[in-house]
């Protein structure tokens, strides 16, 4: 069985190839509504950009496209926080993350399905 999570060196190599890495951060309640949160990390000329995303928990086992869920904050889903740093670790700290598991772009949806299975 293949490993799902990237170690920090693998994540940095992924960014250097121009790809995005993500981390599913779980659920929370906002104004009585179930929501989810995830982060993504990208490399640009200034270093690493990290985005913190929040969305209503609108999925199911049959529909896990978190990128299309509605925002609890604005009409369109957009990051609730953006941080620029020189490394993934520092960018994650800037987002307030202390624990996170990095995956390749798109696998955050599998992480969401795992979350659903345990809630």
Q: How close are the terminal C-alpha atoms of the chain, in Å?
A: 24
| pLDDT tens-digit readout, 91-116 | 999 999 999 999 999 999 999 999 99
The model's pTM is 0.92
Does residue 2 belong to any structural domain of this protein? no
Q: What share of the chain is helix, strand, coil (3-state, %, to 5)?
A: 25, 35, 40
The count of structural domains within the chain is 1
- pLDDT in the model for residue 4: 86
Task: Report the run of H or E that residue 85 belongs to, with start and end.
Answer: strand 81-85
- % of the chain at pLDDT higher than 70: 98
Does residue 1 belong to any structural domain of this protein? no
Average pLDDT over residues 10-17: 96
Q: Which residues contact 78 (CB under 8 A, 6 or more apart)?
A: 71
- pLDDT in the model for residue 119: 85
State yes or no: pLDDT of 1 exceeds 60.
no
Does residue 3 belong to any structural domain of this protein? no
State yes or no: pLDDT of 77 exceeds 90.
no
Q: Where are the alpha helices (DSSP H) in the chain?
A: 8-16, 88-94, 108-117
| pLDDT tens-digit readout, 33-53 | 999 999 999 999 989 999 999
- pLDDT in the model for residue 33: 96
């Amino acid at each position: 069985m293949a490993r799902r999570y990237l170690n920090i060196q693998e994540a940095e190599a992924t960014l250097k190839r121009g790809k995005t890495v993500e981390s599913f951060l779980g659920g929370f309640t906002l104004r009585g509504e179930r929501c989810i949160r995830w982060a993504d990390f990208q490399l640009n000329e200034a270093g690493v950009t990290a985005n913190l995303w929040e969305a209503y928990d609108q999925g199911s086992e049959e529909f896990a496209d978190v990128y299309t869920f509605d925002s609890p904050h604005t009409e369109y889903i957009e990051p609730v926080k953006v941080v620029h740093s020189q490394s993934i670790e520092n960018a994650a700290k800037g987002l307030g993350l202390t624990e996170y598991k990095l995956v390749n772009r798109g696998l955050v949806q599998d992480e969401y399905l795992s979350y659903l299975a345990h809630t």
